[in-house]
Amino acid sequence: MKILMIGNSYTFFNDLPGLLAKKLGAEVRGNLKGGASLIDRLDPASELGQECMKLLSEKWDYVVLQDHSRGPVVRSEDFYRAAAELCALARKAGAVPVFYSTWAYQKGGPTGNAFGMDYGEMYRALSAAYAKAASDNGGLVAEVGKAFYESDDVDALFDPDGSHPSPAGTELAASVMAEVIRRNAG
């Protein structure tokens, strides 16, 4: 199984690609850059966009799509456009698109409420945006944000910055993603 992960620091913190590879016995590669959004991958003039297009010209079984931490909420038009275009490219590469639905900033953490939404509002907005993108484009959703939200010890899932995952948060993300892919692979 070959998996391409397109994302940013939420994907590369604590080596999520490596954990996912171990859980699934898969080859996992990435188009990853801190702070990047999915829309950045569509810029043919950027190195990131060129690398993404080159990777998407290869054969994949799954392409995991993860946007900027608040991108689906504050730049929804860009998010939905990029989701549609990247899903079309993923399908052309033989892949099933998987949306990596991320979490809200840590409740009471240093990043929380940074753009006028509390923890619950941000979680619901992100979850709805990723679900819509998956539904609109025939993709799967790995509801990592929901797993964070429903955790009995959610604070243990965050890095001290209140945004990125701790090693436990990355482990949870890999488990949720692996389960979604296993179910789909049958």
Whole-number pLDDT of residue 112 = 63
Whole-number pLDDT of residue 94 = 98
Whole-number pLDDT of residue 11 = 97
Number of domains in the chain: 1
Range of the domain at 150: 2-185
Rounded to whole angstroms, the Cα distance separating 58 from 100 reads 21
Dig out the tokens for 95 from the structure: 């892949």
Assess contact for 111 and 157: CB atoms under 8 A: no
| Bridge pairing between strands 140-143 and 96-101 | parallel
Whole-number pLDDT of residue 114 = 65
Full-model pTM: 0.96
Assess contact for 130 and 141: CB atoms under 8 A: yes
Rounded to whole angstroms, the Cα distance separating 76 from 86 reads 15
Query: Residue 37 sits in a domain of what CATH number?
Result: 3.40.50.1110
Whole-number pLDDT of residue 6 = 98
Whole-number pLDDT of residue 186 = 81
Assess contact for 29 and 55: CB atoms under 8 A: yes
pLDDT in tens, the chain (186 residues): 999 999 999 999 999 999 999 999 999 999 999 999 999 999 999 999 999 999 999 999 999 999 999 999 999 999 999 999 999 999 999 999 999 999 999 988 777 666 778 889 999 999 999 999 999 999 999 999 999 999 999 999 999 999 999 999 999 999 999 999 999 988
